[in-house]
Structure 1
Amino acid sequence: MMIDQNKIIGQEKNALLTHFNLDDVDKLVISLKKIGRENFDKVCILIKINKRIVFFHAGTQTTNENNLWIHKKANVVDKFDHSSLFEKAIYEENPDKFYINNGLSRRDYAIVGGGFPIGLESTGIIGSLIVSGLTDTEDHDLAYQALIDIQSQQS
């Protein structure tokens, strides 16, 4: 199944916020819990602002494996300022090219869904929201929907 790059870019643009700082982290977590519902225990969640970890959640049904995926997805978002699913879409035909072209290691980077940039309308990407524990597209969708939810609360 081909992943639609334009759809993902559209989601990244749609999810831009007017502001996001430490005061907003709790609101994002509440949105993740609300939207994730029963899946919240199945996921690990990492929120970063300016590459600084400002929140981490390890669901009761997660393992260290999820932490490893979080790290790899976060590295992709931090390096490319795009969602990890977008990078997966670009290299869908030949995932090895991602690692070869960028000189990156599979140990540190994973092009699977779940890493989503946190961007501001005024300045661009300022952080990331990483989800791991569901399918990669479900991880991506949870992150996207949570950002859309807190966006709707901003004036």
Structure 2
Amino acid sequence: MNAEDDIARVKRQEAELVLPVFDEAVAFEIGSAIRGRALAEGLSLVVDIRSWDRQLFFAATPGTSADNAEWVRRKVNSVRRFQRASYRLVLERGEAPFSVQSGADPADYVIAGGGFPIRVTGAGIVGALTISGLPGRSDHGVAVDALCDHLGKARADYALAEVAN
């Protein structure tokens, strides 16, 4: 797949992985599932789930650091400002920091995969599900997998193609 195909797939993820409801219980369910997967697979990651006014779930697995929480903060800011998955920003713009002219200070915003908008039917984007600790494409994939699982959708229908290293 090329970048255009990946962008189209991420746009589809954003449009179709929509929650019927989002509250503390949903955040806990999704977050706990991600944490459980991370522990079972030995993934070092931080998961943060929030509405725009407050954090609803946070967990860190072994091997993470305060840096991961800082990456989460910056990814959340990028999702909120640009209203799209932070990995879509990578695909559209590359991973270079935002320019001074953009007004998106690199101290507060980052172009890196792992932040995914939480969209609720009839309400639009109300928050973010953010992962940090793996390569950006993989952070993004963990978030998408969790939303697929929660919504009862097949992961394979939404997954990005594997890339050779």
So what's the TM-score if we normalise by structure 2? 0.82
Moved segments of 4+, more than 2 Å = 1-4, 33-37, 98-102
The 2-side partners of 1:7 and 1:39 are apart by 27
Q: Give the Å deviation of 1:45.
A: 1.0
Alignment of 1:53 onto 2:55: yes
Distance 1:149 1:101, change over 3 A: farther
Distance 1:135 1:100, change over 3 A: same
Alignment of 1:140 onto 2:143: no
Q: CA RMSD in A?
A: 2.0
The 2-side partners of 1:2 and 1:100 are apart by 25
Give 1:19's match in structure 2, choosing from 9, 18, 21.
21
- Which stretch of the first structure deviates more once superposed, 53-62 or 108-117? 53-62
Give 1:71's match in structure 2, choosing from 70, 73, 82.
73
Q: Which residue of 2 aligns with 1:152?
A: 152
Alignment of 1:119 onto 2:122: no
Q: Give the Å deviation of 1:73.
A: 0.5
Q: Give the Å deviation of 1:2.
A: 3.0
Q: Percent identity?
A: 29
Distance 1:145 1:17, change over 3 A: same
Q: Which residue of 2 aligns with 1:10?
A: 12
The 1-side partners of 2:143 and 2:59 are apart by 14
Unaligned runs of 5+ in 1: none
Cα displacement string for residues 57-101 of structure 1 (whole angstroms, at most 9, x for unaligned residues)? 121210111111111101101112211011112212x835x4345
Count of equivalent residues = 150
What amino acid maps onto 2:110 in structure 1? A
